[in-house]
Structure 1
Amino acid sequence: MKRILIIDDAATVRLYHRTILQDAGYEVVEAINGVEALEKALAQDFDLYIVDVNMPKLDGYGFLRELRHSNRPQVPAIMVSTEATASDRKRAYAAGANLYLIKPTRPEQLVAPIALLLGGEEEA
C-alpha cells in the first residue's frame, strides 16, 4: 500500500485529506508542521507528500527544500495552499514541489494527480 505524509497545521484539513486518501486506498500519516514532517520523512519511507505552505516552525517551502537536499529517496510532493499567485506557485516549484493545488481541493483534484504521480498504481 502506498504511504502518503500529509503536512498541515490545520486539523480539519488533515482530516479532510486523510479521508479522501484512505477512501482511495492509501495509507496516511500526518504531521502538524514542517519540523515534525522532516523528522518523519527522514525516519520512514513515504511514496508522496502533501504539503501546506503556511505552518509554524518550518513552512512548506522550507520543508521541501530540506527534504530535497537530504539523502532520502526523492518522491513526489504536492503543495496545497490558499496562496494563489504566480509567485507562490514559482516558489513551490523552486522548493521542489511536483504540483501546486489551491485550497480547498475537491477529492478528484487530489486523487487523480496522485495516481499519475505514483504511476497509476493506486489501490482501489
Structure 2
Amino acid sequence: QATLTLKKMYDDDELLDEVAFEGPQASSLFTDPKGHQGDIIRTTGSLVWLNALYGVDLPTYSYDTGFNTDLKGIAQTIMDQHRSNTLSIYSVPTVGGVGLLTLGLSMLVLGLMRIARR
C-alpha cells in the first residue's frame, strides 16, 4: 500500500521532496524498470511494519525519516485504513486457511522426518 500511495502522491505532485520516478535509490520511487523500491518507499513500508508488528506509535515516534514528506503520517493512515477493514488490530495477513494448513503440515512432516532419523 505504501508504494501505491506514494506513486499516487507522485502523480498528483503532492510529495514535498524532489523525487524522480526512476533513478538512484536515495532520490527515486523506483531504482529500475522492474520496480525495485527507492528509499522513500522502503522507509514508508518499514514504518508500516513497525506499527503493525510492534505497535510503534508513529505520530510520536522520534525517528527522522530524512524526507520532508510526512512518511510517518502516510504509514499511520495506511494502518488506520487497514484496521478499519479488519476484525482485529492484531490480524496478520495470510493466504487464508490454506497458508496456515500448509505451515502446519510442513511442521508435521519435518517433525516426522526428525523422528525417523533417530
Tell me whether the two structures share a fold, i.e. TM-score over 0.5.
no
Larger Rg: 2
User: Which structure has greater helix proportion?
Assistant: 2
User: Which structure has greater strand proportion?
Assistant: 1
Structure of higher RCO (CA pairs closer than 8 Å, 6+ residues apart): 1
